[in-house]
A and B are shown apart, each in its own frame.
Chain A
Amino acid sequence: DGGITQSPKYLFRKEGQNVTLSCEQNLNHDAMYWYRQDPGQGLRLIYYSQIVNDFQKGDIAEGYSVSREKKESFPLTVTSAQKNPTAFYLCASSIPGGYTFGSGTRLTVV
């Protein structure tokens, strides 16, 4: 079955550490996205990519970085510059017919 796979499901980060969240899709979608979800704030766009080797900042890109070396993969790195990284992170891909979301990664700072 086609879909989006996010890993790991839970991730713990120490202060000052960089961590990378994985997102893989086998839907053959061109566009991919990273959203952050906080309680009471809905989903906010971090980065998006419309084609391989190209990506744009979303509304809250500071402290995050991405790469798009393959169509299927869009990893997100949460850097030490992100001061409040504890949140639920959702990856998505899209075609004009709509979005498909992964199951999410919950990141906690310890």
Chain B
Amino acid sequence: KQEVTQIPAALSVPEGENLVLNCSFTDSAIYNLQWFRQDPGKGLTSLLLIQSSQREQTSGRLNASLDKSSGRSTLYIAASQPGDSATYLCAVRDAGGTSYGKLTFGQGTILTVHP
């Protein structure tokens, strides 16, 4: 059974810092990995999607890397801003079965960026 772990559980940083969020998964046979952002009381917003054949994806100040063999992904946020404060969730889709497979989520990292 796939298990996803995110470290740290919470992170508080001053504005302007570069930071790294970590995600690890136990079964390397994944179809893809997706990073989401969730604001309090809201739904999930997709940030980056990395296919199993890819090493990294970038969008603006965000960069996500994937090392499938070691079961790890990192989300790098450059020049953090107070508006980045949210919960960040990592989720993996297993490769078995159809490509419409379910996601397994980590517990999330709660990020606070203070001015």
Contacts and interface: CB of A to CB of B under 8 A. Distances in A.
Interface in B72-98: 89, 91, 98
A101 B32 contact: no
A100 interface: yes
B46 interface: yes
A12 interface: no
Contact of B102 (A42, A58, A96, A104): A58
B43 A96 contact: no
Nearest to B4: A42
Interface residues of A, number: 27
Interface of A, helix, strand, loop or mixed by DSSP: strand
A86 to B, nearest CB: 14
Contacts of A30: 100
Contacts of A92: 44
Chain B CB within 10 A, most for which of A31, A95, A106? A31
A6 B106 CA distance: 23
A50 B102 contact: no
B42 A103 contact: yes
A40 B6 CA distance: 12
Interface in A37-62: 40-43, 45, 48, 50, 58
A94 interface: yes
Contacts of B36: 101
B42 A104 contact: yes
Contacts of A50: 98, 100
A50 B106 CA distance: 23
Contacts of B46: 98-101
B100 A102 contact: no
A30 B100 CA distance: 9
A42 B103 contact: no
A74 interface: no
A42 B5 CA distance: 11
Contact of A96 (B89, B91, B100, B105): B100
A60 B46 CA distance: 24
A90 interface: yes
B63 interface: no
Nearest to A40: B107
